[in-house]
Structure 1
Amino acid sequence: MDRQITASTCCYCGVGCGVLIEHNGERILGVSGDPAHPANFGKLCSKGSTLHLTGDVTARALYPELRLGKGLARHRSDWDSALDHAASVFAATITEHGPDSVAFYISGQLLTEDYYAFNKLARALVGTNNIDSNSRLCMSSAVVGYKRSLGADAPPCSYEDLELSDCVMIVGSNMAYAHPVLFRRLEEARSRRPQMKVVVIDPRRTDTCDLADLHLAILPGTDVALFHGILHLLLWEDWIDRDFIRDHTEGLAELKSLVRDYTPQMVSQLCGISVEQLQQCAEWIGTSSSFLSLWCMGLNQSTAGSAKNSALINLHLATGQIGRPGAGPFSLTGQPNAMGGRETGSLSNLLPGHRDAANAEHRAEVAAYWGVDQLPEKPGLTAIELFEQMANGKIKALWIACTNPAQSLPDQATVRAALQACPFVVLQEAFRTTETARFADLLLPAASWGEKEGCVTNSERRISHVRQAIAAPGDARPDWAITVDFAQRLEKYLRPGQTSLFAFDNPVQLFDEYKQLTRERDLDLSGISHALIDRLGPQQWPFPSGAVEGTTRLYVDGVFATANGRAQFIADPYRAAKEQRDARFPLTLITGRLRDQWHGMSRTGTAAQLFGHVSEAVLSLHPEELRRHRLQTGDLISLKSRRGAVIVPVASDDSVRPGQAFLPMHFGDRFLKGGANSLTLPAFDPLSKQPELKHSGVRLEPVQLSWQLFALIEGNVQQHFETLRPLCEAFSYVSLSLIGRERPALLIRAASAAAPDPHLLHDIDQCLGLNDGPVLAYDDPRRAIGKRVRIENGRITAIRLAGETLARHWLQNLWLEGRADEQLRRWLLAPLSAPPGQIDAEVIGNKTLCNCKNVSQNAVCTGIRRGLDLQGLKQELGCGTQCGSCVPEIKRLLAAQAQPQAAIS
């Protein structure tokens, strides 16, 4: 078929990049950045540029699956039977236990139309406020911060402010990894305007810090003290805008009284930074003509997240740095449509159009518009509360859509027990491979990226049209269509004989109904439609009826969305994180993102290319901590918190401070036995109800796992995943990942204290195709060591090492090179298991530095040794020329090479 191009939007973070989907009408063939889209102007990060590689149909949910009792297997069903059954169960549950016995847990990856359908379903039909989103884990503290300080959940800035600011402060965000396209934009602006000051506030020294003039490596959780300390200095030095404060704000007197005690000496001690660093930061903020702050999960995911957001906004109000070019508080959204969810009211405390569920007038407005007598008054359960009540038996039926709580929520032991205990769990999901899927009594296949139509709102309030390129595979359907179909069936039980509330045939109808609920509200988007976006391009709200263009910045007139039009200074004292270091748990665990993975890896985890930079979960520790615990890089340890434990290898990393540890947040139980969130705590902010996912008390315990397994098999990786992952439960440590680009393969590392039952190894070998055929084998039963290598057409296609795995790097390298080394047979049949010769450290540590151009770290280092600078490396190897995410690492390698030469000279 002829190749076609469909303009759409990326489905990852909240930058909202435009993409051009190349397809043949049946299959997506490639993706590139849309040069016409104002969010990215054609640029994509390593994740967005590989979207076409994440369409593995073997990982997809393709048809409804239903089980009729806990412990039974699900069987294939059809849509009518599946949704009739779901409607029957929900209706019976509501009739017997009341509307608050059911709940909906949805996602910032849904489209606005999907969100609206769910919201109307829960509130107007079921009559419950028990509808919450995984945005509760992401942006809810930012919502509270904006609403308390400015009156509405409305980021006031635009992306162009990155280029116009004189002082940019990045807080609690590894922007270079989490929002790479925006970070590249900031880098380019800085190169054009070197006088721009960049401050990064982060306990770790991340790639983002490479751009910083000042890195404040504060102790985790001390942000409020830092911001109060900065304000103390702004007031002391009179670096404030008195006219703005007088004319447009209130509440400073109370805040002044609070921050008077946050002296530089006190803040220096609390935050673990020098007085000089604090003073320099305050001076740049106070004396720059434009000050922009950018933040993400480091502020939000905290028991003091709301206070952190408000304390940061206080700095903008005190200096008048809001509502003008290059200035303002600007939260960076973690999910593609978390903003759209907030607009449609899809958190338990919200209603459409930035209304509050607790406000009787707001409830009456929405009820009248929907044509129902009333909306529920009882507060709904937020994410953590929802799963706690489910564990207690209060929630009898749960509908989950487009999210993976069995990976993403903290305290996974409680979450999984709750899912297991819930009488009826529905999962509406595109990928049947998620950790949550095994708990689903009903699995409903949803359309995914490139397969559905609707709208999303990005971090700068810009609404884009998501367009469908191809049909969804199997029986998968768009989320809005599933929700509407279910709602129509449920109406027959709850509203018999009445006119349907869900007479929607397409997403355009849903959007057009929803947008009227925003009319004359702060986010008024009544003038926007799918057709208008197609004609004029993505637009920023507010965009009321009759408007000809969107709104670039908010509050330019100094009038805020509060009752009296004044912004509010918020005086919250500093409160330490819930879990502090103590004798039992002497380390602080920080969680964060990797460059090439996204959230729970349900999508990125299907693309082998995205494991090239970091292939497995590793705990990063400062070299002093390794010495203190007598550990070497690669050693396995048990990492324990008050809630659970996970076994991981350690690595030396001086980007974290002594007393701290860093673990990537992406790895759930599917990729790492137990998963990272078996450690994190469910304590949450009292206002936003957002949990403290970033900060846990942990300790290291040694493990003696002398028997190890290494396996690799190429081919259908998802099928291999499904057959091999359950067998690995017998091992204490399990890590699974993908490798390779042209020939993807599943790679398994496992370890136990003793050799497993021989029948288990036989079953693993059967799955690996190593029990017959062209297989070289060696067994030493006395030492419980065994080796298997399958060689087809002169190259390795499967490997299994059991007992010890000294040769794994050598064998993996042979596989990557597509050959079977002539030394392989001699090594395999030798009594000793070590590989021939000495394994070069570069072979062991080699990784894909540039995913876009498939450039390894070894290739970059070789080029540097030949005298190439950054531009030379770009020209010769191509690295750093596409998304640019590898550039900070390349610069560090160049700097490391220059240091010895400088010492010699």
Structure 2
Amino acid sequence: MPISEPTVTSINGLAKPQASLVSTTCPYCGVGCGIDVVVKQGEQAEKPGSLQLSQLSGSSDHPANFGRLCVKGSKLLETNSNVGRLANPKIMGKNADWPSAINKVATTFSDIIAKHGPDAVAFYVSGQLLTEDYYVANKLMKGYIGSANIDTNSRLCMSSAVAAYKRAFGADAVPCCYEDLELCDVLVLVGSNAAWTHPVLFQRIERAKQRNPELKVISIDPRITATSELADLHLAIKPGTDVALFNGLLAYLAANNGLDQNYITQFTQGFEQALSQSQQWTISNVAELCDIETQELKTFYQTFCQADKAVTAYTMGVNQSTRGVDKANAIINCHLASGKLGREGCGPFSLTGQPNAMGGREVGGLANMLASHMDLDNPIHRDIVQNYWQSPTIANKAGFKAVDLFDEINKGKVKAVWIMATNPVVSMPNRDKIINALKKCELVVVSDCVASNDTIELAHVVLPATGWSEKDGTVTNSERRISRQRGILEPYGESKHDWQILCEVANAMGFAQGFNYSQVDEIFREYAGLSGAQNNGQRDLDLSALATLTVQQYQRLSPLQWPVNQQNPQGTKRLFTDGRFYTQSGKAQFIPLTYHAPEQLTTVDYPFVLNSGRIRDQWHTMTRTGKTAELTSHISKPYVAMHPQDATRLSLQEGALIKLSASHSNEQSAVVLMVTIDDKQRKGELFAPMHWSAMNSSHGAITSLFTDANDKISGQPELKHAAVALEPVNFNLQGELFIKHLPSMTVLRQCFEFFVISPFAQGHKVSFATNNSIAAIKYDLQLNLPRYDEWVSALNPHQESFNARSDGNFSLALFAAKQSPGIDDSWISHLMEQVELKPEELNALLAGVPDAAFSAGPLVCSCFKVGKNTINEAIAGGCSSVEELGLSLKCGTNCGSCKSELSQMIKQHQLMQPKKSKTLVAEQGIPLVQLA
């Protein structure tokens, strides 16, 4: 049931509203999990009569997650606060009213278009928008302004997968559904750490493997990740060699009776050319190029070849490459050749990174497509869209893709840009160029729900948009499933929905006729109608059965997969079950492929390959997930992971600080990260997460290290393969500042040359490094923090510290030493909760030595706050499985995101135990080698 009315009881004769349940959708990754929210009103709320979200859980009847949530989704209530929200429009940093802001945007856009033409303006939008927002933005730009200069941050994650599907199938049509991950005989995960990036899907895979131990899971990734814990086989291939790997698989299938000749003949074209191109890739040639063992490679090929049903699921490790489209097509070629497509448990499955990347593609949110999966270069499609919209014009050529768009801004050819719900200064490659481009731009408009981020700092006009729990519309997940993301709370401050802001600007530009929507359901019906316009089964995207939904039906819309039309009124699980494709011939196309090395190659001066990605508990640039200590405790600092031999060669210890540089980068965006030594890295290769920005760190934003290198077909940047140099950075002191009221960034930069900010239960923690003395730091803080009226210092042989009170309460503590002392957050939180510190507590504080009650160690399980030391004690005490740890400590029993890490800890403990002799092991019947 998507939504229920509040129940009403009578107390002393007065009606008292109780709780209602609202079903909505998670705003994070492309899994598209359903969420049930309990909403209270009246006395429970901050304001009488207002609403309050009181409880949250996974929707047990949502087909994407069946009640499961990852740690990010389960903490949505904690991150949904109005702290840091943008409340009202701003012009040049000053508060403004809506009419002034709308007029500024509309007038400037109109003037620039009149002087320089429609291609002098652009929109840069986001997979965080709802489909209806996306639709209105695309309609305004392509049908009324008359340019295709609307691109999206989905260009950074999914555009190569889109282009590959279109080359092979004639449409951006994901053929699979989530059930296929559970029904296959072999699941190949390529360039995906699903355990961290798509954890709910990963849990479905885990359960499928428990139910069917014969299911083989193969992980292909340069890094051994949390996902590898589940795999029967892990191939740590050299980065960028995927085309050779899958060309080799195609050649192997042909040589080992792995082809489905009937399928090839009846439903495909171009096989002979693709096979000819792959013949050079023998097992030995592939193994040499990919830098993996021949036997491991042969096991992979044999396993895929002999399986009746196989799914290959892939994400950023495939897409974010100068050859991302070719990589995806190499995978698709193997599925076409073996007939593993269009049936249960089969297919090439692109796992979407963002919550509505697919919804944005549906409505034309990329610069090289029209709405409803129609093509810009097709005059019939242009006529269909323009006639349906009754618009004054229609774009007739592709606009600028993301990398090119910021190039054109930098050159002065694009003079106004409107950025919606994204933070390109942090997420786009070549950070310095993005900053310089926006500084040159005549008008930078940003609409967002946050008051500050790296991009907003460069905006001329900032418009407050609604956020999750306020936004109302639809999203589409990785399996083509449309779900409602329902508005529950009133918009914060003066914020408006993105589609409303767009309509107001359109009206002010003189386009009132096309943008007179009063409710979001009107937009959805129009979009659904367009998808069916002159379709007749010729286009994959068809929502025509939803074009006549009433307001009530839209409000209660249950999740379903497109196409949804007269033939499939309840939606469609799988595509291409009849072997009919959307190409001109109606047959799937094999693509002949040649291996090319990545563009950003290492040199003598820049000898390390840098890979980037996400960490378990964070989302994009941390504007939401970074709000709560429960999500930052697992990993609170930006880091660079490297192989132990590389660390030894550079004389680096765990926790050391190191500067990373690339041939094109400069001091404007210097990157300094903490070293993590990790034997799961390949030698000569590094990994760093992409979440940190200038809002929470001095040197943690890493995208300045990546060039503009991008796929020539899709335009997707190469964000997995930069060439960098390393240089150790030494400071006199490292430490932590715990403080209830965070000082300004100016004060922090004055005190510390290097710092990272993260929340903890009582305020903020600033992890720092500096060449300042402890006395100088204390002086600067005293000078800039007049609220603190009592300061106490201490000095011991290993550490210096001081603390301070504000209004009589302990609310500041600083610890510093040559190496960071690593003070336990929970201990400081406990002390700051006290009204008065006991003498022994003050002495312990000054010494920086917590008592035994605060020795849990670094957080592993965010849901139940279980630390590493506690878990290791339980393992040493006899817990020998993840299930036993769950029974003992509850860790791993909620969202499951930490289960892979728990498994690694158990294995590490077992490795440390005295080994049994091989003879004894053999006598006990335990196999010495377990093959996939």
Question: Shorter-chain TM-score: which interval?
Answer: over 0.9
Q: Deviations over 1:756-806 (max 9, x none)?
A: 995x75453466667414x323599xx999743135899853113467575
**Change in 2 beyond 3 A, CA 1:487/1:900:** same
Q: CA deviation at 1:63?
A: 0.5
- Counterpart of 2:441 in structure 1 is 422
Match status 1:64 vs 2:81: no
Aligned length: 875
Change (3 A) 1:547 1:258: closer
Instruction: Report matched runs for 1:461-540 at 5 Å.
Output: 461-491=480-510, 500-519=513-532, 520=535, 521-528=539-546, 529=549, 531-532=552-553, 537-540=558-561
Bigger mean CA deviation after superposition, 299-308 or 19-28: 19-28
The answer as to 2:600 corresponding to 1:576 is: no
Which of residues 636, 643, 664 in structure 1 aligns to 2:657?
636
- Kept in 1, the 8 Å contact 2:751–2:780? The answer is no
**Residue 281 to residue 354, structure 1, CA distance change in 2 (3 Å):** same
The match for 1:549 is 570
1:59 match: secondary structure: coil
1:828 CA displacement: 7.7
Task: Decide whether aligned partners of structure 1 residues 784 and 879 sit closer, same or farther in structure 2, where only a CA change above 3 A counts.
Answer: closer
Q: Which residue of 2 aligns with 1:305?
A: 324
Match of 2:813 in 1: 799
Letter aligned with residue 14 of structure 1: G
Q: After TM superposition, give the deviation of residue 876 of structure 1 in Å.
A: 2.5
Partner of 2:872: 861
Q: Secondary structure at the residue paired with 2:711?
A: coil
Give the deviation of 1:206 after TM superposition: 0.3
Q: Evaluate the alpha carbon distance shift between residue 575 and residue 806 of structure 1 in structure 2; reply closer, same or farther with a 3 A threshold.
A: closer
Identity of aligned residues (%): 39
SS of alignment partner, residue 83 of structure 2: helix
How far apart, CA to CA, are the structure 2 residues paired with 1:828 and 1:544? 67
Q: Deviations over 1:511-541 (max 9, x none)?
A: 1111112112311011124754655621100
Cα separation, 2, equivalents of 1:806 and 1:104: 44
Task: Establish whether residue 623 from structure 1 lines up as the match of residue 641 from structure 2.
Answer: no
Describe the superposition over 1:717-760 as per-residue Cα deviations: whole angstroms up to 9, x where unpaired. xxx26x246632774322111223xx3x21112223455995x7
2:691 matched to 1:666? yes
Q: Describe the SS at the equivalent of 2:219.
A: strand
Structure 1: gaps of 5 or more residues = 68-73
* Matching residue of 1:903: 915
Q: 1:725 and 1:238, CA in 2 relative to 1: closer, same or farther beyond 3 A?
A: farther
Matches within 5 A, 1:619-768: 619-644=640-665, 645-674=670-699, 675-708=701-734, 710-714=736-740, 720=742, 723-724=744-745, 727-728=748-749, 731-740=752-761, 743=762, 745-755=763-773, 758=776, 762-765=779-782
Measure, in 1, the Cα distance between the counterparts of 2:808 and 2:908.
40
Tell me the alpha carbon deviations over residues 828-853 of structure 1, each in whole angstroms, 9 at most, x when there is no partner.
Answer: 87xxxx7569x99x989922211112
Once the two structures are superposed, the pairs formed by residues 262-301 of structure 1 within 5 Å of their partners are 262-301=281-320
Cα distance in 2 for residues equivalent to 1:603 and 1:835:
31
**Aligned partner of 1:684: which letter?**
N
Deviations 1:553-596 (A, max 9, x none): 00001111111111000012011011222211111101111010
State the one-letter code of the partner of 2:371: P
Q: SS where residue 111 of structure 2 aligns?
A: helix
Distance change in 2, residues 1:100/1:305 (3 Å): same
- Work out the CA distance in 1 between the residues paired with 2:183 and 2:202: 14
SS in 1 for 2:823: helix
Q: Is the 8 A contact 2:283 2:297 kept in 1?
A: yes
The question of whether the paired residues in 1 share the 8 Å contact of 2:639 and 2:688 is answered with yes
**2:37 match:** 21
Are the aligned partners of 1:755 and 1:803 in contact in 2 as well (CA < 8 Å)?
no
Q: Which amino acid aligns with 1:509?
A: E
Alignment of 1:809 with 2:823, yes or no, is yes
With over 3 angstroms needed to count, the CA separation of the structure-2 counterparts of 1:878 and 1:363, relative to structure 1, is same
Deviations 1:284-306 (A, max 9, x none): 11110101010110001000000
**One-letter identity of the residue aligned with 1:789:** N
Query: Aligned with 1:27: secondary structure?
Result: strand
Specify the alignment match of 1:3 in structure 2.
19
Are 1:355 and 2:374 matched, yes or no?
yes
Q: Is the 8 A contact 1:713 1:768 kept in 2?
A: no
Length-normalised TM-score, structure 2:
0.90
Q: Is the 8 A contact 2:804 2:812 kept in 1?
A: yes
Q: TM-score, normalization: structure 1? A: 0.92
Of 853, 862, 867 in structure 2, the residue corresponding to residue 851 of structure 1 is 862
Note closer, same or farther for the CA distance 1:729–1:435 as it changes in structure 2 (3 Å cut).
farther
1:247 aligns with 2:266: yes
Task: Supply the AA of the counterpart residue of 1:887.
Answer: K
Partner SS, residue 809 of structure 1: coil
Could you tell me which of 886, 896, 904 is aligned with 1:884?
Answer: 896
How far is 1:232 from its partner?
1.3
Which residue, out of 322, 334, 349, partners 2:353?
334
Distance 1:812 1:882, change over 3 A: closer
1:367 counterpart (381, 386, 400): 386
Query: Partners of 1:844 and 1:102 in 2: how far apart?
Result: 56
Whether the 8 Å CA contact 2:36–2:57 is kept in 1: the answer is: yes
Tell me the SS of whatever aligns to 2:107.
helix
For residues 20-419 of structure 1, the aligned pairs below 5 Å read 20-25=36-41, 26-67=51-92, 74-419=93-438
> Who is 2:885 aligned against?
873
Question: In structure 1, what residue type is equivalent to 2:227?
Answer: T
Query: What is the CA–CA distance in structure 2 between the aligned matches of 1:359 and 1:291, rounded to whole Å?
Result: 35
Shift of 1:338: 0.4
**Using a 3 Å threshold, how does the CA distance of structure 1 residues 617 and 316 change in structure 2: closer, same or farther?**
same
In 2, Cα distance between the equivalents of 1:627 and 1:812?
33
Tell me the amino acid that sits aligned with residue 789 of structure 2.
Answer: D
Alignment CA distance shift 1:435-1:816 (3 Å): farther
Q: Structure 1: how far apart are the matches of 2:273 and 2:54?
A: 59
CA distance in 1, matches of 2:451, 2:733: 32
Q: Secondary structure at the match of 2:513?
A: coil
Any idea what SS the aligned residue of 2:514 has? coil
For residues 809 and 290 of structure 2, what CA distance do their matches in structure 1 show?
Answer: 55
Please point out which of 600, 611, 623 is paired with 1:602.
623
**Cα separation, 2, equivalents of 1:75 and 1:671:** 23
Output the CA distance in 2 between the equivalents of 1:490 and 1:765.
52
Q: Contact 1:171–1:296 (CA<8 Å) still a contact in 2? A: yes
AA partner of residue 544 (structure 2): S
Give the C-alpha shift of residue 81 in structure 1. Answer: 1.2
| DSSP 3-state at the match of 1:282 | helix
- 1:819-874 CA deviation, whole Å, 9 max, x = no partner? 75755655787xxxx7569x99x989922211112211222112112212433321
The change in CA–CA distance for 1:669 and 1:757 in structure 2 (over 3 A counts) is farther
SS of 1:797's partner is strand
2 CA distance for matches of 1:574 and 1:277? 21
Shift of 1:193: 0.4
Q: Distance in 2 between matches of 1:889 and 1:27?
A: 35
Q: Deviations over 1:489-510 (max 9, x none)?
A: 111xxx6xxx611111111111
State how far apart, in whole Å, the 1-side matches of 2:366 and 2:775 are: 49
Q: Which deviations, in whole Å up to 9, do the C-alpha atoms of 1:662-682 show, x marking residues without a partner?
A: 101111222232411121222
- What letter is aligned with 1:3? A
Q: Using the TM superposition, name which of 706-715 and 304-313 deviates more.
A: 706-715
Displacement of 1:45 in angstroms is 0.2
Q: Does 1:431 pair with 2:450?
A: yes
- Give distance in 1, aligned partners of 2:808 and 2:841: 12
Q: Which moved more, 1:533-542 or 1:817-826?
A: 817-826
Contact 1:619 1:663 (C-alpha < 8 Å) held by counterparts? yes
